[in-house]
Structure 1
Amino acid sequence: MDRQPGMSVRLKLTLSYAGFILLAGVLLLAVVWVFLLRYVPEVLSLPMVDVPARSELERAFVPKATTALVFLLALGLSGGWFLAGSMLAPLTRITNATRLAANGSLSHRIHLEGAQDEFRELADAFDTMLARLEAHDAEQRRFAANASHELRTPLAITQTLLDVARNDLTRDTGELVERLHFVNTRAIDLTEALLLLSRANQRSFHREPVDLSLAAEEAAETLLPLAEKRGLTIETSGDIATTLGSHALLLQLTTNLVHNAIVHNLPQHGTVWVTTSVQPDTVVLTVENTGERLTSQLVSTLVEPFQRGTQRVRTDHAGAGLGLAIVKSITEAHDGTLTLTPRADGGLRVTVQLPAAPPHTDP
């Protein structure tokens, strides 16, 4: 934005300090004039007393007053310039840090010293913002690199299959078509997951009352064939838990959690528990599953994009590693919190806590 050049803040403060001191000096001299000189008569003659007349006092007072005012003006300008520079020094550091951040340097921090004041609060807030921006930038870079790798893999496989088919005309095309169909399906699923993740991050959705208990039942019913195929049991229970949000996104969140609990479970005779509960200001969706024992360190990485957990059981239904990342984004887009906890007996407990809908809101 183009702006007309003007005086600096330091110069403005300097002139303000000098003007205030000069005004105070003028007022002080005016007080001396009003309460002293006005009581001196034009001519005063007393026996044996030599008292100067008003005109003599004026001739003696005015030059001294003028000199004093000039001195006060010089003192105000010099002292004001120094004080303004001292007061604005933290602002200069914040400005320099802002310029560095604008040029792409997010690792710089102000680290303003001194007692807590308005400048210190501003500097600390700016340092916090820079830290979050740096972390977000690093996360986006990792995500872009991982997404590029994941998208390149099915394309590379497709290219290899086509090269083989072109070089070997006697090869069975039915097998080739089947493999290409499988690879293409995985690529489409990954692309849709990326689009859903982007939509959740943008928060571009209409909010309406959503009952998490109904979403849990719908997700469990949809994934019941997969659970039965793996010899698992899904148990749903809980209260009506209504929140405000996108029905499609919250259903996707619940479906991802149930799917994740089915895929990363025991080979046979495992269980998935889906429960909902209501607290004073929040509603809670909890999905637990049996499975192998997980460490807290491993669990803390599962919500990162493309992190499937190397110690977890992998199957053909494992997906692209975006399931819990999408759950995290949808939860944050609905102003909620996501908590992952390893179960003592093995498996994972995932808790989604969302703001409760206002009373008398019908889903």
Structure 2
Amino acid sequence: MITKKLSGIFLVATILLMSGGNVFAQLVNNGAKIFIDQNALLYVGDKAIHNYGSILNNGEMIVEGDWVNNRSTVFALESNGKVIFTAKRATFSGAGTTSFPRLVFSGLGIFEVKSNVDVRLSLDLGDAEVHLDDSQLHLDNSGSSLFRNKGFISTLGSGQFVRYMDAGQEYVFPLGSSKLGIMRFVAIKSKDASVIGASFYDKDPSVDGYSRFSKENAIVGVNDSYYHVLKNWKGSGAVDVSFYTAGTEKYTTLVNWTTKSTWDRVFPVSTQDNSSFFPGLSKSFASQGVKLMSGVDVPFAFAEVTNAGPLEIYNAFSPDGDGKNDTWEVKNIDAFPDNDLKIFDRSGNLVYRMGGYHSSKYWDGQNASSGTYFYVLRVKIDGKDQFFKGSITMVKN
């Protein structure tokens, strides 16, 4: 093996270290300032190790082996060239986060990323699998900066693909699993400029503490093979999100792990046909106005539910000020703001009326005494008015 150790100052136009048509060079930078001019090429036929120094890359750098960065800065901020990885299998490691100007994965390689990577201008996955092992891959450019053919990103542990987003623009997270042999992309549109991360785990969510058996009554079963995690790093966390799956997907809706440590249905959710969008991902579950809490992992999964309607209406409450059941709750009503509520006493007198009944406006019964009341709730669901009627028992101590 030919090892090239750089410790001085080099002006690089083109470096090709070849033997019989094969490249064996290893690059170890111990302090050199390397300049790759426009239209120039730095070819590393084996591992690239960065200990000290810097690279100003305005051309191309090809690496056929592992990448090791033991310092925080490798490429000068003015760099706008490509760094192309061509190995069939390679590892990114080291103590430092590498910020690449333009990162390209070429061929059918598997690239295991064990240390954080930032990409400033563009990321091209090609046909490769980029595996994030307890590490993050950041794509900093919020424009049209992601390219791929059949390539995808897989995650393990705390691995996450993080994207910077402009308000109102949709961004794709091409996630998948080589173990399961599936792709499960996510597309996210943020309401404001934000930073959102996404992961895909090819295992039972119960293994990670999100028990499939901790679920609301309407949920029959939660997918035990895989689940997604979204995280809001910056911004309001209000997003429209679509989870793409195969047309043969047996599950019928989308659920998430709530602050009550249970799986619950996401509302509203629509099922869409996307046969022309991503090959093999002809179906999606889409929801608008999903709220992601800042800095919190939010797991999502596909699930099977009963034929129950989207609302869960409670038939009793006790407004006694103890912080439990103090208001009359209509679960999921916030997803259907076009509604009108009327509540009557036993004599038919109207005691409460509210247009746009909402969790922040739940009836607290302060204008009435203990007893049985009757409600009529009109809700527009899927463009049609639906009416719900029933009784409420209010108990005051």
Is TM more than 0.5 here?
Answer: no
TM-score (norm 2): 0.20
Query: Looking at CA atoms only, which structure, 1 or 2, has the larger radius of gyration?
Result: 1
